[in-house]
Structures are given as structure tokens and as C-alpha cells.
Amino acid sequence: MISTLVLVAAVGVGAEPVQTRFIGSGATQRVGGYSPIRAEMNDDASAVKTAPDGLASPKYGTIKIGTRSFGFILDEPEGKDARLFVDGNADGDFTNDGVAKWESRKAGNLTMHNGSFEVALDADRRGTVNAYRFDPTDPQRAPLKNTVLYYADYGYELELNLDGKAFSTFLGGEPTARTSLWIDRDGNKVRSAKREIIAVGRPFNFTGTTYELRLGDGGLQLAKAEQELPVTPLPPDLAVGKKALPFKMTALDGKEIEFPKSYAGKLVMLDFWATWCGPCIAELPNVKKAYETWHDKGFEILGVSFDNKDMAEKVAAFAQEKGMPWEQIYEGKMWDTTLGEMYDVSSIPFVLLVDGDSGEIVATVKNLRGPGLSDFIGKALAKKNRDIQ
């Protein structure tokens, strides 16, 4: 179901409305994830005016969406299929709503349940909600024995007018004080967590004017902020074929590095990592194999540590213990490290393969993780050598 509503932007005289289009389902895929909410169940059936026939072992709970609440019944008779009933129109009658989808699948000796249903958000809009439940007999999830987890799968297409330029974005579920939105400022469809995200209550400046997103009685509002901020730089273009950002830094061992010139004649992998980063450590066997195989043939690595302050000795000792002989840059600033800011790094491991001669980016994380890393480096070096000849 698709409908349209308008949320007025409170930006003072000459304010333009924020055009908002309701999308009844599919929000989870569009935003790339979800944040589940817990709904606890018990034996209290006082909110049920009319119950479905044939309930054998029901439990009752409430799902809250925005300002509305919807009761649900989960019937889990032993040895039979579980059934979910949702009071989607919030009238207490569980027999006059659409059928909730509720399926089960085996995972070893345990059974996982998931499904979806629609709820009436108002007289004109019905939104899809997804839900799931872990096996209540799972000892590792004992605290969730009487819990159903759910999240909105509907949302809103929004258009924000910033200094006369329209930006489209998408909001999953209802706006809250914790809402954040992605504004694709450069149009490359790649999300920058540091330079393209706006959040309710936090001033931002993407176009020359400092705005603030607010949560009002009618929903989200866009206002000119009282404080003024400088324009946030656009995210760097780190696509394959583009130039890597040059820098000069001092490595842990005191060596001065001018990137990428210090790696002339070679391919260098710029590797942002930390000793506390589990996925980074998990990748080490693949990285070490590539280094040991191709280092003598022109492959180098430059590590950039996101470790905390006063950890220089620990980082050096860790690198030696784990067999990481390549240079390491360490500032002790965690996420505020100079190169992390320069390269707009919002998650690690973050890697780029760069040609030391041209400075061009040869590959990104898509090809630089996993057991195929060494083979990929070998092919990249062979291509570089062919190009030189």
C-alpha cells in the first residue's frame, strides 16, 4: 500500500514542506537492516474481547508501533504448528484481522519462528511488521523464553530541501528521537556514516546553511539551527581507478612514510585495523599468506592502528607476536585518527589496494578479504608488471 502525506517543516518564514510518501512494506531491505524490539508474553488475556477458536496453549503480549499498541496471541501447542494472531486494528477482536504469517524452520535440534503481519497505523495506512522468535527451549537464549522480537517493515520516502536543493532519503518505521537519515550528498549510493548522516536534534551543514532535524507533534520537522557549523566535506571518492589520498606520517619504528610515493614500483594495501577488532584479527591468516607469498614480488602493507592512547608498545608487541612485519602507523586516537578521518573510515577492517607509482586505487574491500586474497594480489601484480612492460 502506498499513500502520501505532508509533514510541515518548521523553518520559519518561507518554509517549504517535507514531502513524505508512505511505503507499506519493504523498508528493511531499503535501509539495509533493522533494530528489533522485544515484546514480552504472559498469561494475561484481559485485553482480548474476542479470541480465535481452538487456542490450545496461548500466550499474550503487546506490540507498540509509534503511539499505537496492538495485542497479539501466540499459540504454541506441544507437537503442533505454532500460530500467531495479531489485533491489527486494535479493537480487541482477534478474529477480524488479516491472517498473520508465521513459519518455523529447524536449526539442529532447535526451531526458529518468523513471520509478518499488517497493522492499521491510521484510517488510511496499513504497515507491515516482521517478527521472529527463538526456540523457547534454547538454553543459550533463556532470557528470551517468553519473548517475540519485532520490527517495522514499512517506512517513508522523504524529500528534504536544503538551500534550494532536493535530497531524497528513506526512513524505516516511525520517526523517533533517535532517528537518523542518510543523505546521499554525492549521489554515488555509498553511505558515509561520518559525512552523510543527519540525526534528530543534531545540527548539520551540507549545503551552506546549518539545519536541524526535529521531532514535532506532526512528525519530523526541518528547521534552521541557531548555531552555525562549517560545511561538512563531501566523502572522498575511493572507487577503483580513483586516486588514493596522499599523506605523510611517521611509522611506529620512526620511519617517515610518504604515501603512496614511498611504495613506488609496488602495490601497497592500506589496512585500517586495531588489536581489539575481532574481524581484523580473523582476517590475519589471509593477509599474512598474501604478504608471505607476494612481498618479494612487490606487495607491501601499511597498517593504520585504531587503538587507544598509550598503546604504542602493545601494538608493536602484538604485531611482532602475530607475525606482522609491515609498517604500522599509530596515533592512539581510536576513531579520531588522522588517516581515519581523511579516508572517512567508519568501520574496520577497511582496506584499499593502491598502485605506488600512479597512486590509483586498484581494489577495495570487495576483493581484499577472505581466502582468495592471495590469489587476487598475485593477479594484480601480474597485471601491473604487464602494464609496465
Closest CA to 270 of 293, 247, 297: 247
φ, ψ for residue 85, nearest 5 deg: -125, 130
pLDDT at res. 2? 36
Does domain 247-388 fall into CATH 3.40.50.150?
no
Cβ neighbours of 218 (radius 10 Å)? 11
Residue 110's nearest CA partner among 73, 77, 80, 140 is 140
Q: What is the pLDDT of residue 196?
A: 96
End-to-end CA separation in angstroms for the chain: 60
Question: CA 9, CA 216: separation in Å to the nearest integer?
Answer: 10
C-alpha cell, 15: 518554509
- What does DSSP assign to residue 243? B
Which amino acid, one-letter code, is at 302? L
pLDDT, position 270: 97
Distance (Å) of CA 228 to CA 196, 205, 223:
18, 8, 13
Q: What is the pLDDT of residue 67?
A: 85
State the DSSP H helix or E strand holding residue 148, giving kind and residue range, or none if neither. Answer: strand 147-152
Query: What was the pLDDT predicted at 183?
Result: 95
Q: Give pLDDT tens digits along the chain (389 positions).
A: 333 344 434 334 333 556 789 999 999 999 888 999 999 999 999 999 999 999 999 999 999 998 899 999 999 998 899 999 999 999 999 999 989 999 999 988 999 999 999 999 998 999 999 999 999 999 999 999 999 999 999 999 999 999 989 999 999 998 888 899 999 999 988 889 999 999 999 999 999 999 999 887 667 888 899 889 999 999 999 999 999 999 999 999 999 999 999 999 999 999 999 999 999 999 999 999 999 999 999 999 999 999 999 999 999 999 999 999 999 999 999 999 999 999 999 999 999 999 999 999 999 998 999 999 999 999 999 998 876 55
pLDDT given for residue 5 in this prediction: 40
CB 216 within 8 A of CB 222: no
- The residue extents of the domains of the chain are 2-26+155-224, 35-152, 247-388
**What is the pTM for the complete model shown?**
0.78
DSSP of 18-53: EEEEEE-S-HHHHHT----EEEE-BS--TT-SBPPT
Integer Cα distance of 97 and 85 in angstroms: 8
d(CA 97, CA 95): 6
- Whether residue 233 is preceded by a cis peptide bond, meaning omega within 30 degrees of 0, is no
Cα 361–chain centre separation: 24
- The per-residue pLDDT for 32 is 84
**Long-range pairs for 348-352: beta carbons < 8 A, 24 or more residues apart:** 348/272, 348/273, 348/274, 348/277, 348/279, 348/280, 348/306, 349/271, 349/272, 349/273, 349/277, 349/279, 349/280, 349/283, 350/271, 350/272, 351/269, 351/270, 351/271, 351/272, 352/238, 352/244, 352/269, 352/270
